[in-house]
C-alpha cells in the first residue's frame, strides 16, 4: 500500500521518538485545519474540511419522517461515509466499501451515543415535530475526496462543521388533527432553525508508534503504527465513544493514559475548530 | 411547459445560446497525479488521474499501448432528493464507458505501452450535463498529470425545446424529455469524437443543434486553455523561472 | 431514559414487550433493582464451552452464554487464493453471520459486516501470523441464538476454535461487554439490557499477557467510569481460567507440546 524503504521507516520512527516529525510537527500538533461551510447548496448544511492533504466533505440533509415506535420522542440520525475512488485507486468499485463501513460505524459510535440515545452529541429530542408522528430524519453523508491519514478526526470535524451550518426549516403543524391521523404540516421556506453544536464531541485519534503517541498521523505515519485509539470527547471532557484500531495488544494502563492525553488534546482541538467554524460561517454569510 | 419565455429567456434567466457560468481549478486532490474540479453552473465534478503506472491486473495489460480505465461515481448528496445508490449501476457504467472511450481517443496511448492510467470522476453536485462536465474535468486532470494528448477534448450539450436550440441544458431542461445532444470535440483538429443524442430531431435542425454544442465546446476549450496557462504561470513563478 | 417516569413496573415481565411505549426495566432511583435474570451486576451468565463441534473443520468450538449460542469453525491454514498478492505473513479472514432464526424477528441470515471486522481486529493481534506465510485461515462464526452480548461470545469462542485448530497464538482471547444503565454498570448484558443501555463497552484482551486487543465504547462516559474498565479486565481474569480449564486443557497442552 504505502511503499516505504527501511530508511524512511526508521526516519519516521526516529523522528517521532525525538518529538519532531517528518513535516516538522511535534507529536501532539495538528496540521493546519481549513474549514469551508456551505459548499453543497442542495443540502441543508455542508462543510469541507482540509487537514494537510486529507480532504473530506460532509453534508446534512433533513427529511420529515416518522419516529420509531420505541422512541416516540426522538428524531433519527444516520451517518454514511463514502470513499471516493478519487482519494485512492484502491477505493475503485467495491474496494472502498470496507473502509467506508468501518468509518461509518466508528462515527455512529462516537456521535450518536448509546442505544437509548443518551449521551448523543446531537440532541435527538429537538428533532421531534409531533411526538410519535412526525420528526426530522437527518441524513449525514460524508465523502472522502482525498486521503492522507487521520480520516476519522477529519470526518468528525466535518460533521460538526456541517451541523453548525445546518438550517432546519421551521414547521407549522396544522391544528385540529387528532387521534391516529397524520397531522398536516407546513414547511417554511424562510425561517430556519439552527442547531446547538456545542455538545457535539470531537474525535481525537492517537496513533501509537513505538512507545509514543501522535495525533493527526499522515498515511506514512499510519503505516508504522502498532495500534491506534480514536476517542471522542465533548466540551465537558466526557468520553462519548472509543474505537481501537490495529491488532496489537495494549496494556490497560496505557489505554487509560491515552484517554487522558486525548482529553487534554481535545480541549485545544475544540477551541480551534470552533473558531475556524465561526470564521467560515462569517465568511459564508458575507459572500 | 414553457422553457423559453416570449422575451426569449430560459427558466434560469439565460438566453438560449448562453452557457452557464463555468469555473475550473487544477489540483484539487493533493495525492493524485493529476486532478481538477470543473463547475458548470450548479453541476460540480472532481476528476483525479492516477498513472501512468504499472498495470494492476496483469491479464489486462496491453503490450503496445496504455490501458485507460475510468470510473464515474455520484455522491449521495449530489442530487436534490437524497438517494443511496449502489455502485456500478447501469447509468454510471455507461457514463464511465463513454468517458473512457472519449479520453482514450485523445491520449497518445502508444507512447506508454504496458502501463495503466486511471481516471476517477466524482460528481459532487448534479444539475444536468454531468457527462460533459466530467469529460472537461478529466481533460484538465489528464493535462495536470502530464499525460501526452492529441488535443484537449472538451464537451458540451445542447437541446431543442419550444422550437429553440438551447445550449448547455440544466437538470429541468434535461428532464423535459426533449432531444439532448452531447458532443465531445477536439478543437485544434476540429473533429468530433463523441456524439450522443436522445429522442428525435429532423436532420436539418439537428445540424444546427450540433453546431451550437460545438460552439459551446470551443468556448469551454478557450476557458480550459486559459486556466492551464494560468496554472503554468503559477508553477513557473513558484519555481522561480 | 426511555418511557416516562412513574409508570415503572416493580417487577420484570419476561414476555417480549409488544406495547408501543416500552417500560424502562429499572427506575433511576431504584437502589434495589435486580437484573431481569436475577444476576448480580458484576456476574456473568452461566457459560458453557465445547471444542470440536464441527467435524469437517480444522478446529471448531461451541459456546453458550445464557441464551446466546454460537458456533465457530476454523478452516486452514490453507493456500491463499491465487489472485492475492504474495504475503510473508498469514492472512486471517473472519465472517460472522446470524441464522434466520437467531433473533426475535425472523432475520435475513446474512453476514454481519461490522461484527466480522471487529472479530478480525480482536483476533489478529493474538495469532502469530508469521508462522503460516502465504496461507489463509478462515474463521466462520454462526450465531445460532442471539441473547445479548453476541460479539464477545463470538470472539471468545473463536479464539477457542483457533486453539482447537492448532493455530499458534500468543494467548487465548477473552472478551466481555459492559452496559451502562443509569448509574449502574452491568456486565455481560442480555438483549433486554442492551436495548436500554445508555452506553456500552466491549473489551477484548489476552489475559495472561494482560494486553487489550480491542476496545470500543459508545455513549457518554465520565473519567471515573472509564477507570472501571479495570473492572472488566478483572472479570475477564476471573472468567479466563474457566475458559481455559473447562474446555481446552487437552488442546492447550497439545499446543504447548507442539511448541
Closest residue in A to C198 (Cα) is A114
Averaged pLDDT for residues A207-217: 91
- Conformational region of residue A267, where left means phi above 0, alpha means psi within -120 to 50, and beta covers everything else: alpha
pTM of the model: 0.85
> Domain of B121?
22-239
Q: Across-strand partners of A256?
A: none
Overall number of domains in chain C: 1
Distance from CA of A168 to the nearest CA of C (A): 25
Distance from CA of C59 to the nearest CA of A (A): 22
Taking 50 as the pLDDT cut, the residues of chain C under it are 1-22, 246-259
Overall number of domains in chain B: 1
A146: confidence class by pLDDT, cuts 50, 70, 90: very high
Lookup: cell for B35: 486532478
What CATH number should be reported for the domain holding residue C144?
3.30.230.70
> For residue range B178-199, what is the model confidence (pLDDT) as tens digits?
899 999 999 999 999 999 998 8
Domain ranges in chain A are: 6-286
Contact A84 B46 (CB under 8 A): yes
For residue B1, being part of any structural domain is answered with no
Residue-level pLDDT at A115: 66
> Domain of C212?
47-258
Contact A238 C222 (CB under 8 A): yes
Contact A115 C194 (CB under 8 A): yes
What is the CATH number assigned to the segment(s) A6-286?
A: 3.30.230.70
Asked if C217 is an interface residue toward chain A (Cβ–Cβ < 8 A), one would say yes
Residue-level pLDDT at A171: 82
Contact B76 A141 (CB under 8 A): yes
Q: Worst-scoring range by mean pLDDT, A241-255, B84-98, C234-248?
A: C234-248
Asked if C172 is an interface residue toward chain A (Cβ–Cβ < 8 A), one would say no
For residue B4, being part of any structural domain is answered with no
Residue-level pLDDT at A60: 92
Residue-level pLDDT at A269: 92
Q: Which of C196, C200, C191, C194 is nearest to C218 (CA)?
A: C200
> For residue range B228-240, what is the model confidence (pLDDT) as tens digits?
999 999 999 999 8
For residue C183, being part of any structural domain is answered with yes
For residue C79, being part of any structural domain is answered with yes
For residue C41, being part of any structural domain is answered with no
Chain A contacts of C212, Cβ < 8 Å? 244, 249-252, 255
Strand B115-125's sheet: what is its strand order? Answer: B22-26, B34-40, B43-54, B115-125, B67-74
Q: Worst-scoring range by mean pLDDT, A122-126, A266-270, B106-110, C210-214?
A: A122-126
For residue C27, being part of any structural domain is answered with no
Closest residue in A to B87 (Cα) is A93
Chain B contacts of A49, Cβ < 8 Å? none
Residue-level pLDDT at C258: 41
Contact A84 B82 (CB under 8 A): no
Over 70: is that where the pLDDT of A80 sits?
yes
What CATH number should be reported for the domain holding residue B147?
3.30.230.70
Contact A247 C220 (CB under 8 A): no
Closest residue in A to C3 (Cα) is A71
Residue-level pLDDT at A198: 81
Q: What DSSP assignment string belongs to B123-149?
A: EEE-SS-HHHHHHHHHHHHHHHTT--B
The rounded distance, in Å, linking the Cα atoms of A144 and C212 is 30
ipTM: 0.87
Residue-level pLDDT at A64: 87
For residue B17, being part of any structural domain is answered with no
> For residue range A13-66, what is the model confidence (pLDDT) as tens digits?
999 999 999 889 999 999 999 999 989 888 889 999 999 899 999 999 988 888
For residue B13, being part of any structural domain is answered with no
Amino acid at each position: 500500500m504505502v511503499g516505504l524503504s527501511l530508511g524512511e521507516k526508521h526516519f519516521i520512527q526516529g523522528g517521532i521518538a525525538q518529538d519532531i516529525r517528518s513535516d516538522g510537527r511535534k507529536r501532539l500538533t495538528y496540521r493546519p485545519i481549513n474549514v469551508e461551510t456551505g459548499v453543497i447548496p442542495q443540502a441543508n448544511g455542508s462543510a469541507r474540511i482540509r487537514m494537510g492533504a486529507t480532504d473530506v466533505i460532509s453534508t446534512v440533509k433533513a427529511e420529515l419522517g416518522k419516529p420509531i415506535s420505541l422512541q416516540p420522542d426522538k428524531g433519527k440520525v444516520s451517518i454514511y461515509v463514502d470513499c471516493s475512488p478519487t482519494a485512492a485507486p484502491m477505493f475503485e468499485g467495491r474496494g472502498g466499501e470496507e473502509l467506508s463501513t468501518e468509518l461509518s460505524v466508528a462515527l455512529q459510535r462516537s456521535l450518536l451515543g448509546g442505544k437509548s440515545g443518551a449521551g448523543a452529541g446531537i440532541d435527538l429530542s429537538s428533532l421531534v415535530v409531533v411526538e410519535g408522528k412526525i420528526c426530522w430524519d437527518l441524513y449525514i453523508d460524508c465523502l472522502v475526496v482525498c486521503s492522507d491519514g487521520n480520516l476519522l478526526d477529519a470526518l468528525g470535524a466535518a460533521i460538526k462543521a456541517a451541523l453548525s451550518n445546518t438550517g432546519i426549516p421551521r414547521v407549522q403543524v396544522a391544528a385540529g388533527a387528532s387521534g391516529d391521523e397524520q397531522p398536516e404540516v407546513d414547511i417554511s421556506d424562510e425561517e430556519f432553525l439552527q442547531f446547538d453544536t456545542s455538545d457535539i464531541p470531537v474525535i481525537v485519534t492517537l496513533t501509537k508508534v513505538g512507545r509514543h503517541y501522535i495525533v493527526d498521523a499522515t498515511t506514512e505515519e499510519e503505516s508504522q503504527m502498532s495500534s491506534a485509539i480514536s476517542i471522542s470527547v465533548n466540551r465537558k471532557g466526557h468520553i462519548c465513544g472509543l474505537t481501537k484500531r490495529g491488532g496489537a495488544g495494549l496494556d490497560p494502563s496505557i489505554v487509560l493514559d491515552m484517554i487522558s492525553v486525548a482529553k487534554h488534546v481535545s480541549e485545544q482541538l475544540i477551541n480551534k475548530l470552533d473558531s475556524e467554524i465561526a470564521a467560515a460561517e462569517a465568511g459564508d454569510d458575507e459572500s | 411547459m414553457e422553457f423559453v419565455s416570449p422575451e426569449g429567456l430560459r427558466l434560469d434567466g439565460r438566453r438560449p445560446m448562453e452557457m452557464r457560468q463555468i469555473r475550473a481549478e487544477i489540483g484539487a486532490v493533493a495525492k493524485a497525479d493529476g486532478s481538477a474540479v470543473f463547475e458548470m453552473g450548479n453541476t460540480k465534478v472532481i476528476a483525479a488521474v492516477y498513472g501512468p503506472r504499472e498495470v494492476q491486473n496483469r491479464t489486462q495489460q496491453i503490450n503496445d499501448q496504455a490501458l485507460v480505465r475510468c470510473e464515474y461515481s455520484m455522491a449521495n448528496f449530489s442530487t436534490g432528493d437524497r438517494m443511496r445508490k449502489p455502485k456500478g449501476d447501469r447509468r454510471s457504467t455507461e457514463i464511465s464507458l463513454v468517458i473512457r472511450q472519449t479520453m482514450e481517443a485523445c491520449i497518445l496511448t502508444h507512447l506508454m505501452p504496458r502501463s495503466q492510467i486511471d481516471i476517477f470522476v466524482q460528481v459532487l453536485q448534479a444539475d444536468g450535463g454531468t457527462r460533459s462536465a466530467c469529460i472537461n474535468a478529466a481533460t484538465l486532470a489528464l493535462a495536470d498529470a502530464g499525460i501526452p494528448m492529441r488535443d484537449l477534448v472538451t464537451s458540451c450539450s445542447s437541446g431543442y425545446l419550444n422550437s429553440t436550440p438551447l445550449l448547455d441544458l440544466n437538470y429541468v431542461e434535461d428532464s423535459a424529455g426533449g432531444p439532448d445532444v452531447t458532443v465531445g470535440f477536439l478543437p485544434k483538429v476540429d473533429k468530433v469524437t463523441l456524439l450522443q443524442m436522445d429522442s428525435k430531431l429532423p436532420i436539418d435542425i439537428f445540424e444546427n443543434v450540433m453546431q451550437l454544442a460545438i460552439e459551446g465546446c470551443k468556448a469551454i476549450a478557450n476557458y480550459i486553455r486559459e486556466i492551464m496557462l494560468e496554472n503554468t504561470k503559477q508553477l513557473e513563478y513558484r519555481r522561480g523561472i | 431514559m426511555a418511557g416516562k417516569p412513574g409508570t415503572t413496573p416493580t417487577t420484570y415481565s419476561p414476555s417480549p414487550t409488544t406495547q408501543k411505549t416500552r417500560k424502562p426495566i429499572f427506575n433511576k432511583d431504584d437502589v434495589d433493582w435486580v437484573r431481569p435474570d436475577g444476576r448480580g451486576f458484576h456476574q456473568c451468565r452461566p457459560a458453557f464451552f465445547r471444542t470440536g463441534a464441527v467435524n469437517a473443520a480444522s478446529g471448531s468450538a461451541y459456546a453458550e452464554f445464557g441464551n446466546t449460542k454460537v458456533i465457530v469453525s476454523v478452516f486452514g491454514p490453507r493456500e491463499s487464493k491465487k489472485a492475492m498478492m504474495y504475503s510473508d505473513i498469514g492472512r486471517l479472514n473472519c465472517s460472522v453471520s446470524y441464522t434466520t432464526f437467531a433473533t426475535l424477528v425472523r432475520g435475513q441470515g446474512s453476514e454481519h459486516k461490522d461484527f466480522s471486522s471487529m472479530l478480525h481486529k480482536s483476533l489478529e493481534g493474538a495469532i502469530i501470523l508469521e508462522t503460516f506465510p502465504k496461507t489463509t485461515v478462515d474463521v466462520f462464526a454462526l450465531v445460532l441464538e442471539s441473547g445479548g452480548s453476541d460479539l464477545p461470545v463470538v470472539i471468545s469462542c473463536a479464539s477457542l476454535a483457533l486453539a482447537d485448530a492448532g493455530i499458534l497464538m500468543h494467548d487465548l482471547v477473552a472478551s466481555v461487554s459492559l452496559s451502562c444503565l443509569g448509574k449502574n454498570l452491568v456486565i455481560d448484558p442480555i438483549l433486554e439490557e442492551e436495548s436500554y443501555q445508555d452506553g456500552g463497552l466491549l473489551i477484548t484482551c489476552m489475559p495472561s499477557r494482560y494486553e487489550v486487543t480491542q476496545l470500543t465504547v459508545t455513549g457518554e462516559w465520565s473519567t471515573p467510569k472509564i477507570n472501571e474498565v479495570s473492572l472488566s479486565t478483572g472479570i475477564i481474569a476471573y472468567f479466563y481460567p474457566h475458559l481455559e480449564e473447562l474446555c481446552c486443557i487437552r488442546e492447550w497442552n497439545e499446543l504447548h507440546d507442539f511448541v
